[in-house]
Amino acid sequence: MTSDKVRPLVDFHCHLDLYPDHADAVARCEREGVFTLAVTTTPKAWPRNQELAAATRHVRAALGLHPQLVAERSREIVLWKELLPRTCYVGEVGLDAGPKFYASFERQKEVFVEVLTSCAAASDKILTVHSVRATKIVLDMIEKHLPPTRGRVVLHWFTGTAAEIRRAVDLGCYFSVNAEMLANEKRAVANRAFPLGRVLTETDGPFTRTGARPSEPSDVWGAVEGLASLHGLDAADVGRRIGANLKALLDEVS
């Protein structure tokens, strides 16, 4: 159960427009006090997300072009660039070198370079970045094209090594962690390498599940409890730390 002592909760990566009732999903975040970054998979989806988020205190809409859709939608980078000045939040973007999407990997890299260089030129963006089977290349590209003085990256569902985590920290990156990443001992041990001062929470809903149903932003409390258990800390204290991390991240690009 969510602790009344910790508000707002933080879901820094959730696909609110993929729930059956998009407007109701946004309204629930607002009602339940969950700071939610509503990521989009194409720039065409961003205006409606922004329209719904603009009337809220807790929801923000991120401008995305998902690497898994680049094969069909890479031309939408033109629209993405047109919309970029209207938001501080970018995502979901990045690279996916999994077998299903590897055929488009070179084009994904071209699009990601355009994303990073555009964000660097703007110098006030926060990105939530996908890096499936492409950790080193993603970090190489961030290092080359988006220095920490020009923007901030939150690595979504990051599965890099301890050395890659240290490198990401040196590049100014944060990490967003969901309950599924902490679901078994092997995964949990890997997540202990994330410095708590650089950790945010996420659900990646509706692609994760809480019990028999798709996870919702308020279920992010499960990630808070998982992190608390992992580090031997009180869940309310961890929740407050996550909130402080969010504030620090936002202050860094303001």
Give the residue from 93, 96, 106 showing the smallest Cα distance to 63.
93
What letter does residue 9 receive in the DSSP assignment?
A: E
**Any known ligand binding at 231?**
no
**Any known ligand binding at 66?**
no
What letter does residue 36 receive in the DSSP assignment?
A: E
Are the C-beta atoms of 47 and 86 separated by less than 8 Å? no
Whole-angstrom CA distances from 121 to 29, 88, 124, 146 are 32, 13, 9, 9
**Any known ligand binding at 145?**
no
- Please state the three-class secondary structure of 83-142 as a single string: HHHHCCEEEEEEEECCCCCHHHHHHHHHHHHHHHHHHHHHCCEEEEEEEECCHHHHHHHH
Angle, nearest 10°, between helix axes 135-145 and 162-170? 10
Return d(Cα 145, Cα 118) in angstroms, integer: 9
Return d(Cα 21, Cα 74) in angstroms, integer: 28
Per the annotation, binding residues are 13, 15, 92, 130, 156, 204
Per the annotation, binding residues for a divalent metal cation are 13, 15, 92, 130, 156, 204
